[in-house]
Structure 1
Amino acid sequence: MADGIFAGLRVIDCASWIAGPAAATILSDFGAEVIKIEPPGAGDPWRASAPVPGKVTDYWWQLTARNKRSLAIDLKHAEGLGVLNRLIGSTDVFITNFPLPVRERLKIAATDLLAINPRLVYGSITAYGETGEEAARTGFDATAYWARTGLMDMVRANTETEPVRSMPGMGDHPTATALYAAIATALYRRERTGLGGVAQTSLLQNGLWANGCFVQNRLFGEHVRHRPPRTETPSALANHYRCRDGRWFLMALHNEARQLASFLKAIDAEHLAQDERFATQLARRANHKALTEILDGIFARRDLAAWKPILEAAGVTFGAVFTVDEAADDPQSREIGALVPFADGAGLTVSSPFHIDGATKVAPRRAPAVGQHSETVLRDAGYSADEIGRLKALGVLQQ
């Protein structure tokens, strides 16, 4: 399946920033043709986001807009809308995250486009959903996914510390994956019924899903405590520890009945099993602070590199706390195809987070410049040179 599972599928990415465009990127990884619609001039505002202060870069743009062809067209102009409507007739998936009132104003709401092409799958992302008093509210993943759903509040070190800020895309990329799943589901339904329809998700709903364990507790009437500091965690055997070289790792020894003896032997602390404070799981829970202090002292005796083979040999599940530098240079991530090279330029990019047996993903291509493919896209759609020239003269089309 060299051309990809979605070879022949046409997608219009009429979204901005991350979540909507990233869903289109996943489709492109599996062979879909993606046309990125941008306003003439600066294009998608995500292009201007600089991950390195003081530098003009497009690193983030390369991640979210790879594999796409850019069509720079003014949808506020009747002629520009006419171009979109003409393309919609042969399009399989349309993706947008424009606020609902903007879609109505531009005449690109689901009802507008499905009237042109009933087989169209209309992929929609909003901040707070498409019904209710807040349906028209704007939001980013930091506000709707991270802050609104309790995630920001629950992960701070304690109740006295400031709420923890999210990293760029932390909620957008999972939400993009949810939209991709909705689109794929809608395409499956179309295969059975012949009809498209709306496939929608929201940052709010995905944030609640991510925080589902704690939210579900509350839904059953349980009081949810803030996550305690590491010295107060219920289990000292499921905690993070600092090594002699200052490096941290997170240990998750949950099957204590089976793993505790080998763990204590590996760290030369078998005597702790005879200590009445730690002899049973119930006792260890009651004396978790004391056990944490003891383990702190033990793990501070060696560097992380020395502890790794010891814990691995003991069968302990653990993970080193990586820096971003280490994550970007992780051999395992390259081995599994999570970090892959661009086919038409230097560097690597982060691939979509799943694989299908027997299907090879499309080798990623560099993201386009604003309007780089405008004329090509229109020629493919049957526009003549004169028609294209007229659109340029009107200022509707940019190349």
Structure 2
Amino acid sequence: DVSHLGSLMWLGGNRYGIALISKNVPRRQDRTAVLNPLWNFYRCEDDRWIAFSMNQSDRYWPPFCKAIGHRELIDDPRFNGMERRAENRVELVRLLDGIFESKPRDAWEGMFAGNGDIIWTRVQDVFDLPDDPQVIANNYIVDYDHPVLGPSKWIQTPVGYSSTPVSAVKAAPAHGANTEEILIESLGCSWEDISKLQEEGVIL
């Protein structure tokens, strides 16, 4: 069993994991001049975001304009075609920014709910993930008491097996933690050899 959500979280594991531990929000890419403004994300009045992923912009442009309550944009000569929207993308993104900033995200979600003619979703903040119902149900983020960092949130592997529990949560060994074990078990060194190497500063 492998889910889309879990796989994307795992793919961005370093980025998201560092963010959860450091409390720093990952930087977003520039969105003000995308070639297709229907494949973009917009800030709402309450500083929350909503995203659209409609690659076939000519197909989705009319229902999108209707859904946001601006039918007059459908035949606007600046935007009534994929090429024209691309040419005037900066102006269009600025216009859409103003529209979406006029209402909080919950209001937009209420307007879009049940609308199968557009493709949209709320943009989750990385700090929303631990409280996301699907993340919780699938155990994609787990609590781990790290020996150095202390109690913290960790990204779990998205791969699950029906009969065999899987976990990717384990602290990396400290510097030199396995030196003696490797020297004795793999290289046949004695404790006297190890003491001599330590005295000479070869190993910790």
Instruction: Give TM class, smaller chain.
Output: 0.5 to 0.7
310, 313, 322: which one pairs with 2:114?
Answer: 313
Q: 1:381 to 1:239 in 2, by over 3 A?
A: closer
Unaligned runs of 5+ in 1: 1-25, 27-50, 53-58, 61-154, 158-228
Q: Secondary structure of 2:63's match?
A: helix
91, 96, 105: which one pairs with 1:295?
Answer: 96
Structure of higher RCO (CA pairs closer than 8 Å, 6+ residues apart): 2
For 2:61, the equivalent position in structure 1 comes to 260
Q: 1:303 to 1:394 in 2, by over 3 A?
A: same
Is 1:237 the equivalent of 2:74? no
Q: Secondary structure of 2:74's match?
A: helix
For 2:128, the equivalent position in structure 1 comes to 326
Q: 1:271 to 1:369 in 2, by over 3 A?
A: same
Instruction: Please give the per-residue CA displacement for 1:195-241, whole angstroms capped at 9, x wherever unaligned.
Output: xxxxxxxxxxxxxxxxxxxxxxxxxxxxxxxxxx71x4333323332
Query: How far did residue 375 of structure 1 move?
Result: 4.1
Query: How far did residue 397 of structure 1 move?
Result: 4.7
For the residues of structure 1 that align with 2:119 and 2:29, how far apart are their CA atoms? 26
Q: Secondary structure of 2:73's match?
A: helix
170, 180, 183: which one pairs with 1:365?
Answer: 170
233, 247, 260: which one pairs with 2:48?
Answer: 247
For 1:88, the equivalent position in structure 2 comes to none
For the residues of structure 2 that align with 1:313 and 1:291, how far apart are their CA atoms? 26
155, 159, 174: which one pairs with 1:350?
Answer: 155
For 1:393, the equivalent position in structure 2 comes to 196
Is 1:339 the equivalent of 2:144? no
For the residues of structure 1 that align with 2:80 and 2:168, how far apart are their CA atoms? 55
For the residues of structure 1 that align with 2:173 and 2:131, how far apart are their CA atoms? 26
Q: 1:368 to 1:268 in 2, by over 3 A?
A: same
Q: For 1:1-399, list aligned pairs within 5 A.
A: 230=32, 232-311=33-112, 313-314=114-115, 315-318=118-121, 320=123, 322=125, 324-327=126-129, 330-342=132-144, 346-352=151-157, 355=159, 360-362=165-167, 364-378=169-183, 380-381=185-186, 383=188, 387-395=190-198, 396-398=202-204
For the residues of structure 2 that align with 1:375 and 1:290, how far apart are their CA atoms? 65
Residues 145, 152 of structure 2: 8 Å contact kept: no
- Amino-acid identity (%): 24
Q: Secondary structure of 2:39's match?
A: coil
Instruction: Please give the per-residue CA displacement for 1:294-348, whole angstroms capped at 9, x wherever unaligned.
Output: 32222111112332354453342345262x4335655544545542343887433
Q: 1:276 to 1:363 in 2, by over 3 A?
A: closer
Query: How far did residue 391 of structure 1 move?
Result: 1.1
Residues 341, 364 of structure 1: 8 Å contact kept: no
For the residues of structure 2 that align with 1:246 and 1:274, how far apart are their CA atoms? 30
Residues 46, 104 of structure 2: 8 Å contact kept: yes
For the residues of structure 1 that align with 2:195 and 2:155, how far apart are their CA atoms? 36
Unaligned runs of 5+ in 2: 1-9, 11-17, 23-27
Query: How far did residue 243 of structure 1 move?
Result: 1.3
For the residues of structure 2 that align with 1:361 and 1:302, how far apart are their CA atoms? 43
For the residues of structure 2 that align with 1:289 and 1:372, how far apart are their CA atoms? 55
Query: How far did residue 244 of structure 1 move?
Result: 1.0
Residues 343, 364 of structure 1: 8 Å contact kept: no
Query: How far did residue 270 of structure 1 move?
Result: 2.4
Q: 1:311 to 1:394 in 2, by over 3 A?
A: same
Normalising by structure 1, report the TM-score.
0.34
Q: 1:280 to 1:246 in 2, by over 3 A?
A: same
Residues 44, 105 of structure 2: 8 Å contact kept: yes
Instruction: Please give the per-residue CA displacement for 1:98-137, whole angstroms capped at 9, x wherever unaligned.
Output: xxxxxxxxxxxxxxxxxxxxxxxxxxxxxxxxxxxxxxxx
Q: Kindly tell me the number of residue pairs found equivalent between the two proteins.
A: 173
